[in-house]
Structure 1
Amino acid sequence: MSANTIEHNRTRQNFDGVSSIWLFGYGSLIYKVDFPFLERRPASIRGWERRFWQGSHDHRGTPEAPGRVVTLIQSPGAVCKGMAYRVSPKVFEHLDVREKNGYLRFATTLTFEDGSHREGLVYIATEDNEAFLGHAPDADIARQIASASGPSGPNAEYLLRLADSLRKLGADCPHTFALEHQLRSVTSDKA
């Protein structure tokens, strides 16, 4: 599948008659909220784990030197904590462009901190997109993140802001925190 998913996403859901919908953010959508929302609440989704397995050719890297950003990988029993936003369907005109590098919108069930549930959407970069990089040792991922930069800034900034945001949410994400530790080791070795 092409890395540019804008047009594909615009045909995935029908928003006719829908005034608002929940959107689940688990990466930069937690801390970079450049879209209007009607409501924001911490939430989680089940059966998924956050992984730095998606290449970023357009935000945190370049086609020649891609960065790494998060996607979700299916994992039975896992819980991924993030932030949910109730948005107007018009917001997807912007978000489909922002998340165009391999991400598709999927329906999911969100669980809020009070135990209530709502149906919503989440962007996931699946392994069949051109920008998917997949698994690598943490040290290799950290080195790639340390050296990558793109139009949205250094890839390291993305990782560090995400780790900080997850701590503020009280989310446990061993993968992100291990990469943060590795990144700090890589950058202190360069100093």
Structure 2
Amino acid sequence: MPANTIDHNRTRYNFDGIDSVWLFGYGSLIYKVDFPFLEQRPASIRGWARQFWQGSHDHRGTPEAPGRVVTLIEQPGAVCRGMAFRVSPNVFEYLDVREKNGYLRFSTTMTFDDGSHAEGLVYIATEDNEAFLGEAPEADIAAQIAAAVGPSGPNSEYLLRLAESLRALGDDCRHTFSIESHLTRSGPVEASDS
């Protein structure tokens, strides 16, 4: 599948007659909320693990030196914590462009902190997309992140802001925190406010 998924996503769901849709964010959508929303609630999804296995050629790296960003990998028993946003369907006109580098919209069941559930959409970069990098030792992922810079800024900023946001949500994402630890051990790096 080509890395640019805009057109593919726009044929996946018909929003006719729908006023609002839940969207589950587990990466930059948690902390970079540059889209309008009607409601925001912490949530989790089951059976999926957050992994830094997707290449970023357009935001946090370049085609020659891709960064690494998160995607979801199926894992029985796993729980991925994130943020749910209730949005108007027209928000996907923007989000499909923002998430175009290999991410497809999928349907998912979200569980809110009060135990209630809702169906929503989530962007997942599957391993058959051209930008997928796959598994690597966490120290190697940290080194790649430390070196990568793209139009949206340093890849390290993405990692550090995500780790900070996950702590605020009370999530213990060992994968993210281990990569963060490798990165900060290699030298001083700080998340910026941009």
User: Please, what TM-score do these two structures have when normalized by structure 2?
Assistant: 0.96
Aligned-partner residue type, residue 40 of structure 1: Q
Work out the CA distance in 2 between the residues paired with 1:42 and 1:182: 28
Is the partner of 1:81 in helix, strand or coil?
Answer: strand
Counterpart for residue 57 of structure 1:
57
Unaligned runs of 5+ in 1: none
Is the partner of 2:59 in helix, strand or coil?
Answer: coil
Aligned-partner residue type, residue 46 of structure 1: R
Counterpart for residue 70 of structure 1:
70
Counterpart for residue 94 of structure 1:
94
Is the partner of 1:158 in helix, strand or coil?
Answer: helix
Counterpart for residue 191 of structure 2:
none
Counterpart for residue 187 of structure 2:
187
Work out the CA distance in 1 between the residues paired with 2:184 and 2:135: 20
Work out the CA distance in 1 between the residues paired with 2:187 and 2:37: 36
Aligned-partner residue type, residue 134 of structure 1: G
Counterpart for residue 114 of structure 1:
114
Report the Cα offset of residue 172 of structure 1: 1.1
Give the share of equivalent positions with the same residue, in percent: 80
Report the count of equivalent residues: 188
Counterpart for residue 41 of structure 2:
41
Q: Does 1:176 align with 2:180?
A: no
For the 8 Å contact 1:142–1:186, the answer to whether it is kept is no
Cα shift readout 1:36-85 (whole Å, capped 9, x = no counterpart): 00000000000000000000000000000000000000000100000000
For the 8 Å contact 1:23–1:86, the answer to whether it is kept is yes
Is the partner of 1:77 in helix, strand or coil?
Answer: strand
Aligned-partner residue type, residue 52 of structure 1: F
Report the Cα offset of residue 94 of structure 1: 0.1
For the 8 Å contact 1:146–1:187, the answer to whether it is kept is no
Is the partner of 2:127 in helix, strand or coil?
Answer: coil
Counterpart for residue 7 of structure 1:
7
Report the Cα offset of residue 187 of structure 1: 2.4
Unaligned runs of 5+ in 2: 189-194
Is the partner of 1:187 in helix, strand or coil?
Answer: coil
Map residues 82-161 of structure 1 onto 2, 5 A cutoff: 82-161=82-161
Aligned-partner residue type, residue 96 of structure 1: D
Aligned-partner residue type, residue 42 of structure 1: P
Aligned-partner residue type, residue 43 of structure 1: A
Aligned-partner residue type, residue 97 of structure 2: V
Counterpart for residue 24 of structure 1:
24
Work out the CA distance in 2 between the residues paired with 1:172 and 1:90: 33
Report runs of 4+ in structure 1 exceeding 4 Å deviation: none
